[in-house]
Structure 1
Amino acid sequence: MWLLNFYSKLEKNLSKLEKILVTLMMMIMFVSVFIQVLSRFFNLPIPDTSDISLVSFAMMTFFGTGLLVYTKGHILIEITSLIKSQKIVFIFDVLSNIAMLIIGAILLNIGFALLMYFFENREATMALRIPLAVPFTSLVIGLVLMLVHTIGNLMVLFNKYKTAN
Protein backbone atom coordinates (compact mmCIF):
# COMPACT_ATOMS: atom_id res chain seq x y z
CA MET A 1 0.00 0.00 0.00
CA TRP A 2 2.84 2.40 0.82
CA LEU A 3 4.34 1.74 -2.60
CA LEU A 4 1.07 2.65 -4.30
CA ASN A 5 0.80 5.85 -2.22
CA PHE A 6 4.39 6.80 -3.06
CA TYR A 7 3.87 6.04 -6.74
CA SER A 8 0.61 8.00 -6.81
CA LYS A 9 2.34 11.05 -5.33
CA LEU A 10 5.17 10.67 -7.84
CA GLU A 11 2.68 10.49 -10.71
CA LYS A 12 0.74 13.47 -9.42
CA ASN A 13 3.91 15.58 -9.24
CA LEU A 14 5.01 14.40 -12.68
CA SER A 15 1.59 15.29 -14.10
CA LYS A 16 1.90 18.82 -12.70
CA LEU A 17 5.25 19.18 -14.46
CA GLU A 18 3.78 17.73 -17.65
CA LYS A 19 0.89 20.21 -17.54
CA ILE A 20 3.34 23.10 -17.14
CA LEU A 21 5.49 21.86 -20.04
CA VAL A 22 2.53 21.26 -22.35
CA THR A 23 1.09 24.69 -21.54
CA LEU A 24 4.48 26.36 -22.04
CA MET A 25 4.97 24.65 -25.41
CA MET A 26 1.47 25.67 -26.48
CA MET A 27 2.19 29.28 -25.54
CA ILE A 28 5.52 29.26 -27.40
CA MET A 29 3.81 27.76 -30.44
CA PHE A 30 1.05 30.38 -30.32
CA VAL A 31 3.49 33.29 -29.99
CA SER A 32 5.78 32.04 -32.76
CA VAL A 33 2.89 31.53 -35.17
CA PHE A 34 1.54 34.99 -34.26
CA ILE A 35 4.97 36.49 -35.00
CA GLN A 36 5.05 34.67 -38.34
CA VAL A 37 1.65 36.07 -39.30
CA LEU A 38 2.63 39.61 -38.31
CA SER A 39 5.95 39.32 -40.09
CA ARG A 40 4.36 38.16 -43.34
CA PHE A 41 1.39 40.52 -43.22
CA PHE A 42 3.44 43.65 -42.51
CA ASN A 43 6.53 42.41 -44.39
CA LEU A 44 8.70 42.82 -41.29
CA PRO A 45 12.37 41.81 -41.28
CA ILE A 46 11.82 39.18 -38.55
CA PRO A 47 13.58 35.83 -39.03
CA ASP A 48 11.38 32.85 -39.82
CA THR A 49 10.04 31.44 -36.55
CA SER A 50 8.42 28.36 -38.07
CA ASP A 51 11.12 26.12 -36.58
CA ILE A 52 10.21 27.30 -33.09
CA SER A 53 6.54 26.48 -33.60
CA LEU A 54 7.35 23.06 -35.11
CA VAL A 55 9.73 22.10 -32.31
CA SER A 56 7.35 23.32 -29.60
CA PHE A 57 4.49 21.43 -31.26
CA ALA A 58 6.56 18.23 -31.25
CA MET A 59 7.52 18.73 -27.61
CA MET A 60 3.91 19.47 -26.63
CA THR A 61 2.80 16.28 -28.37
CA PHE A 62 5.44 14.08 -26.75
CA PHE A 63 5.02 15.48 -23.22
CA GLY A 64 1.26 15.33 -23.69
CA THR A 65 1.43 11.59 -24.38
CA GLY A 66 2.38 10.82 -20.81
CA LEU A 67 -0.19 13.28 -19.51
CA LEU A 68 -2.95 11.65 -21.56
CA VAL A 69 -2.11 8.25 -20.11
CA TYR A 70 -2.20 9.73 -16.60
CA THR A 71 -5.56 11.45 -17.13
CA LYS A 72 -6.85 8.49 -19.13
CA GLY A 73 -7.56 10.87 -21.98
CA HIS A 74 -6.00 8.60 -24.59
CA ILE A 75 -8.00 6.38 -26.90
CA LEU A 76 -9.82 3.72 -24.95
CA ILE A 77 -11.87 0.79 -26.06
CA GLU A 78 -15.24 1.20 -24.39
CA ILE A 79 -16.29 -2.42 -24.88
CA THR A 80 -15.59 -2.96 -21.18
CA SER A 81 -18.74 -0.98 -20.36
CA LEU A 82 -20.76 -3.70 -22.09
CA ILE A 83 -19.13 -6.58 -20.18
CA LYS A 84 -20.88 -7.56 -16.96
CA SER A 85 -18.09 -9.65 -15.43
CA GLN A 86 -15.65 -7.51 -13.44
CA LYS A 87 -13.04 -10.27 -13.70
CA ILE A 88 -13.12 -10.15 -17.51
CA VAL A 89 -12.97 -6.33 -17.43
CA PHE A 90 -9.96 -6.56 -15.09
CA ILE A 91 -8.19 -9.02 -17.39
CA PHE A 92 -8.97 -6.85 -20.42
CA ASP A 93 -7.62 -3.73 -18.64
CA VAL A 94 -4.46 -5.52 -17.54
CA LEU A 95 -3.82 -6.89 -21.04
CA SER A 96 -4.35 -3.48 -22.65
CA ASN A 97 -1.93 -1.86 -20.18
CA ILE A 98 0.63 -4.59 -20.78
CA ALA A 99 0.25 -4.03 -24.53
CA MET A 100 0.84 -0.31 -23.95
CA LEU A 101 3.98 -1.14 -21.94
CA ILE A 102 5.29 -3.33 -24.75
CA ILE A 103 4.52 -0.77 -27.45
CA GLY A 104 5.97 2.03 -25.31
CA ALA A 105 9.15 0.04 -24.69
CA ILE A 106 9.58 -0.65 -28.42
CA LEU A 107 8.99 3.01 -29.27
CA LEU A 108 11.37 4.08 -26.50
CA ASN A 109 14.07 1.87 -27.99
CA ILE A 110 13.53 3.42 -31.43
CA GLY A 111 13.29 6.93 -29.98
CA PHE A 112 16.50 6.52 -28.01
CA ALA A 113 18.31 5.26 -31.12
CA LEU A 114 17.06 8.32 -33.05
CA LEU A 115 18.14 10.60 -30.21
CA MET A 116 21.65 9.14 -30.24
CA TYR A 117 21.77 9.55 -34.02
CA PHE A 118 20.88 13.25 -33.78
CA PHE A 119 23.35 13.83 -30.96
CA GLU A 120 26.12 12.27 -33.05
CA ASN A 121 25.28 13.99 -36.33
CA ARG A 122 24.22 17.34 -34.87
CA GLU A 123 21.41 17.77 -37.39
CA ALA A 124 19.30 20.89 -36.98
CA THR A 125 16.21 22.60 -38.34
CA MET A 126 16.51 24.56 -41.57
CA ALA A 127 15.76 28.16 -40.63
CA LEU A 128 16.98 28.67 -37.06
CA ARG A 129 19.30 25.65 -36.76
CA ILE A 130 17.59 24.31 -33.64
CA PRO A 131 19.23 20.94 -32.87
CA LEU A 132 16.90 18.07 -33.70
CA ALA A 133 18.09 16.44 -30.50
CA VAL A 134 15.71 18.82 -28.68
CA PRO A 135 12.44 17.35 -29.99
CA PHE A 136 13.85 13.81 -29.91
CA THR A 137 14.84 14.27 -26.27
CA SER A 138 11.24 15.23 -25.56
CA LEU A 139 10.14 12.08 -27.45
CA VAL A 140 12.23 9.91 -25.14
CA ILE A 141 11.07 11.78 -22.03
CA GLY A 142 7.43 11.56 -23.16
CA LEU A 143 7.70 7.81 -23.70
CA VAL A 144 9.31 7.34 -20.28
CA LEU A 145 6.46 9.33 -18.74
CA MET A 146 3.95 7.21 -20.64
CA LEU A 147 5.55 4.04 -19.26
CA VAL A 148 5.63 5.45 -15.71
CA HIS A 149 1.92 6.30 -15.88
CA THR A 150 1.05 2.92 -17.42
CA ILE A 151 2.83 1.17 -14.56
CA GLY A 152 0.82 3.38 -12.21
CA ASN A 153 -2.39 2.33 -13.98
CA LEU A 154 -1.45 -1.33 -13.50
CA MET A 155 -0.70 -0.77 -9.81
CA VAL A 156 -4.10 0.87 -9.30
CA LEU A 157 -5.84 -1.93 -11.21
CA PHE A 158 -4.23 -4.66 -9.11
CA ASN A 159 -4.91 -2.74 -5.89
CA LYS A 160 -8.60 -2.31 -6.78
CA TYR A 161 -8.88 -5.98 -7.73
CA LYS A 162 -7.17 -7.08 -4.51
CA THR A 163 -9.41 -4.92 -2.30
CA ALA A 164 -12.56 -6.00 -4.17
CA ASN A 165 -11.82 -9.69 -3.59
Structure 2
Amino acid sequence: MLFLRFEETIHKIMKVLMTLSLMAMFISTMLQVAVRSLGVNIVGTADISLLNMSFLTFIGVGLAIYTKDQIAIESTALFSSGKIRFRIEIISSIFTLIFGIVLLYVFIPFFMYMLETGEKTLELGIPVAFSTGFSVIGAVLVILHSIGDILRLIYRKKGNMSSEDGGMER
Protein backbone atom coordinates (compact mmCIF):
# COMPACT_ATOMS: atom_id res chain seq x y z
CA MET A 1 0.00 0.00 0.00
CA LEU A 2 2.35 2.60 -1.36
CA PHE A 3 -0.25 5.38 -1.24
CA LEU A 4 -0.83 4.93 2.49
CA ARG A 5 2.92 4.94 3.19
CA PHE A 6 3.24 8.13 1.13
CA GLU A 7 0.37 9.64 3.11
CA GLU A 8 2.06 8.72 6.41
CA THR A 9 5.33 10.32 5.25
CA ILE A 10 3.50 13.51 4.27
CA HIS A 11 1.83 13.51 7.70
CA LYS A 12 5.17 13.23 9.53
CA ILE A 13 6.72 16.06 7.49
CA MET A 14 3.70 18.33 7.98
CA LYS A 15 3.67 17.63 11.72
CA VAL A 16 7.28 18.81 12.03
CA LEU A 17 6.62 21.86 9.86
CA MET A 18 3.52 22.75 11.86
CA THR A 19 5.49 22.54 15.10
CA LEU A 20 8.18 24.84 13.70
CA SER A 21 5.54 27.23 12.37
CA LEU A 22 3.77 27.35 15.72
CA MET A 23 7.07 28.09 17.46
CA ALA A 24 7.88 30.89 14.98
CA MET A 25 4.42 32.40 15.42
CA PHE A 26 4.68 32.20 19.20
CA ILE A 27 8.14 33.83 19.25
CA SER A 28 7.16 36.62 16.84
CA THR A 29 3.96 37.33 18.77
CA MET A 30 5.80 37.40 22.11
CA LEU A 31 8.44 39.75 20.63
CA GLN A 32 5.70 41.97 19.28
CA VAL A 33 3.93 42.17 22.63
CA ALA A 34 7.16 42.73 24.59
CA VAL A 35 8.46 45.45 22.29
CA ARG A 36 5.10 47.22 22.01
CA SER A 37 4.85 47.34 25.79
CA LEU A 38 8.03 49.44 25.64
CA GLY A 39 6.32 51.80 23.20
CA VAL A 40 8.25 50.81 20.06
CA ASN A 41 7.56 48.53 17.14
CA ILE A 42 9.48 45.64 15.57
CA VAL A 43 9.16 45.53 11.81
CA GLY A 44 7.97 42.24 10.39
CA THR A 45 6.54 40.41 13.38
CA ALA A 46 2.99 40.95 12.14
CA ASP A 47 3.92 39.57 8.72
CA ILE A 48 5.62 36.55 10.27
CA SER A 49 2.62 35.88 12.51
CA LEU A 50 0.23 36.23 9.58
CA LEU A 51 2.25 33.86 7.41
CA ASN A 52 2.47 31.25 10.15
CA MET A 53 -1.22 31.60 11.00
CA SER A 54 -2.09 30.95 7.36
CA PHE A 55 0.18 27.91 7.33
CA LEU A 56 -1.26 26.51 10.56
CA THR A 57 -4.85 27.06 9.44
CA PHE A 58 -4.73 25.49 6.01
CA ILE A 59 -2.19 22.75 6.60
CA GLY A 60 -3.94 22.03 9.90
CA VAL A 61 -7.15 21.24 8.03
CA GLY A 62 -5.39 18.50 6.10
CA LEU A 63 -3.84 17.10 9.24
CA ALA A 64 -7.18 17.14 11.07
CA ILE A 65 -8.56 14.94 8.30
CA TYR A 66 -5.63 12.54 8.65
CA THR A 67 -5.68 12.33 12.44
CA LYS A 68 -9.48 12.11 12.59
CA ASP A 69 -9.75 15.19 14.82
CA GLN A 70 -13.03 16.38 13.37
CA ILE A 71 -16.65 16.30 14.47
CA ALA A 72 -17.86 14.02 11.65
CA ILE A 73 -15.56 11.22 12.78
CA GLU A 74 -16.26 11.67 16.48
CA SER A 75 -19.99 11.38 15.87
CA THR A 76 -19.60 8.02 14.08
CA ALA A 77 -18.32 6.47 17.30
CA LEU A 78 -21.82 6.89 18.75
CA PHE A 79 -23.16 4.10 16.53
CA SER A 80 -22.73 0.58 17.86
CA SER A 81 -23.49 -1.20 14.59
CA GLY A 82 -20.36 -1.81 12.52
CA LYS A 83 -22.31 -1.69 9.26
CA ILE A 84 -23.89 1.68 10.05
CA ARG A 85 -20.56 3.07 11.28
CA PHE A 86 -18.81 1.89 8.09
CA ARG A 87 -21.45 3.50 5.86
CA ILE A 88 -21.33 6.77 7.77
CA GLU A 89 -17.52 6.81 7.65
CA ILE A 90 -17.54 6.18 3.88
CA ILE A 91 -20.16 8.89 3.31
CA SER A 92 -18.23 11.28 5.56
CA SER A 93 -14.98 10.60 3.68
CA ILE A 94 -16.69 11.09 0.32
CA PHE A 95 -18.17 14.42 1.45
CA THR A 96 -14.79 15.46 2.80
CA LEU A 97 -13.25 14.59 -0.57
CA ILE A 98 -15.88 16.70 -2.33
CA PHE A 99 -15.20 19.52 0.13
CA GLY A 100 -11.48 19.33 -0.66
CA ILE A 101 -12.17 19.47 -4.40
CA VAL A 102 -14.42 22.51 -3.95
CA LEU A 103 -11.74 24.19 -1.80
CA LEU A 104 -9.15 23.54 -4.49
CA TYR A 105 -11.51 24.91 -7.14
CA VAL A 106 -11.93 28.12 -5.10
CA PHE A 107 -8.35 28.53 -3.92
CA ILE A 108 -6.46 27.98 -7.19
CA PRO A 109 -7.87 31.07 -8.97
CA PHE A 110 -7.22 33.17 -5.86
CA PHE A 111 -3.65 31.87 -5.67
CA MET A 112 -3.11 32.51 -9.38
CA TYR A 113 -4.43 36.04 -8.99
CA MET A 114 -1.98 36.69 -6.16
CA LEU A 115 0.85 35.34 -8.32
CA GLU A 116 -0.15 37.59 -11.24
CA THR A 117 -0.56 40.77 -9.19
CA GLY A 118 2.59 40.27 -7.15
CA GLU A 119 0.92 41.57 -3.96
CA LYS A 120 3.30 41.74 -1.00
CA THR A 121 2.94 42.20 2.72
CA LEU A 122 3.48 45.74 3.99
CA GLU A 123 6.40 45.32 6.36
CA LEU A 124 8.64 42.59 4.97
CA GLY A 125 7.43 42.47 1.39
CA ILE A 126 6.66 38.74 1.51
CA PRO A 127 4.61 37.77 -1.55
CA VAL A 128 0.99 37.16 -0.54
CA ALA A 129 0.98 34.29 -3.03
CA PHE A 130 3.27 32.49 -0.60
CA SER A 131 0.61 32.71 2.10
CA THR A 132 -2.30 31.88 -0.22
CA GLY A 133 -0.34 28.94 -1.56
CA PHE A 134 -0.87 27.30 1.82
CA SER A 135 -4.60 27.24 1.10
CA VAL A 136 -3.95 25.28 -2.09
CA ILE A 137 -1.63 22.87 -0.28
CA GLY A 138 -4.23 22.46 2.47
CA ALA A 139 -6.94 21.62 -0.08
CA VAL A 140 -4.62 19.06 -1.70
CA LEU A 141 -3.98 17.54 1.73
CA VAL A 142 -7.72 17.29 2.38
CA ILE A 143 -8.13 15.46 -0.94
CA LEU A 144 -5.11 13.21 -0.31
CA HIS A 145 -6.17 12.25 3.20
CA SER A 146 -9.81 11.72 2.17
CA ILE A 147 -8.69 9.29 -0.51
CA GLY A 148 -6.48 7.60 2.10
CA ASP A 149 -9.44 7.30 4.47
CA ILE A 150 -11.61 5.75 1.75
CA LEU A 151 -8.85 3.27 0.86
CA ARG A 152 -8.31 2.35 4.52
CA LEU A 153 -12.04 1.81 5.03
CA ILE A 154 -12.29 -0.41 1.96
CA TYR A 155 -9.18 -2.43 2.81
CA ARG A 156 -10.33 -2.91 6.40
CA LYS A 157 -13.81 -3.96 5.21
CA LYS A 158 -12.22 -6.56 2.94
CA GLY A 159 -10.06 -7.75 5.83
CA ASN A 160 -6.79 -6.77 4.14
CA MET A 161 -5.79 -4.27 6.83
CA SER A 162 -5.83 -4.16 10.58
CA SER A 163 -5.73 -1.00 12.65
CA GLU A 164 -2.03 -1.75 13.34
CA ASP A 165 -1.32 -1.56 9.59
CA GLY A 166 -2.44 2.05 9.35
CA GLY A 167 -6.13 1.53 9.86
CA MET A 168 -8.62 4.08 11.10
CA GLU A 169 -7.29 4.14 14.65
CA ARG A 170 -4.08 6.12 14.56
TM surpasses 0.5? yes
Structure 1: segments with no counterpart, 5+ residues:
none
Distance change >3 Å, CA 79–CA 71, structure 1 → 2:
closer
Contact 2:21-2:56 at 8 Å conserved across structures: yes
Deviation (angstroms), 1:79: 4.2
Contact 1:36-1:48 at 8 Å conserved across structures: no
* 1:97 equivalent in structure 2: 93
Residues 1-165 of structure 1 aligned to structure 2 (within 5 Å): 5-44=1-40, 46-76=42-72, 78-163=74-159
Structure 2: segments with no counterpart, 5+ residues:
161-170
Q: Which string of whole-angstrom CA distances, capped at 9 and with x for unpartnered residues, describes residues 69-90 of structure 1?
A: 1111122254433434322221
Identity over aligned pairs, percent: 39
State the one-letter code of the partner of 1:157. L
State the one-letter code of the partner of 1:141. I
Aligned counterparts of 1:33 and 1:82: Cα–Cα separation in 2: 40
* CA RMSD, Structure 1 to Structure 2 (Å): 1.8
State the SS of the aligned residue for 2:70.
coil
Which 4+ stretches in 1 moved above 4 angstroms? none
Distance change >3 Å, CA 80–CA 64, structure 1 → 2:
closer
Larger displacement relative to structure 2 (79-88 or 120-129): 79-88
Contact 2:32-2:41 at 8 Å conserved across structures: no
State the one-letter code of the partner of 1:153. D
State the SS of the aligned residue for 2:92.
helix
State the one-letter code of the partner of 1:162. K
Larger displacement relative to structure 2 (83-92 or 115-124): 83-92
In the alignment of these two chains, the number of paired residues is 160
Q: TM-score, normalised by structure 2?
A: 0.86
Aligned counterparts of 1:80 and 1:43: Cα–Cα separation in 2: 52
State the one-letter code of the partner of 2:96. M
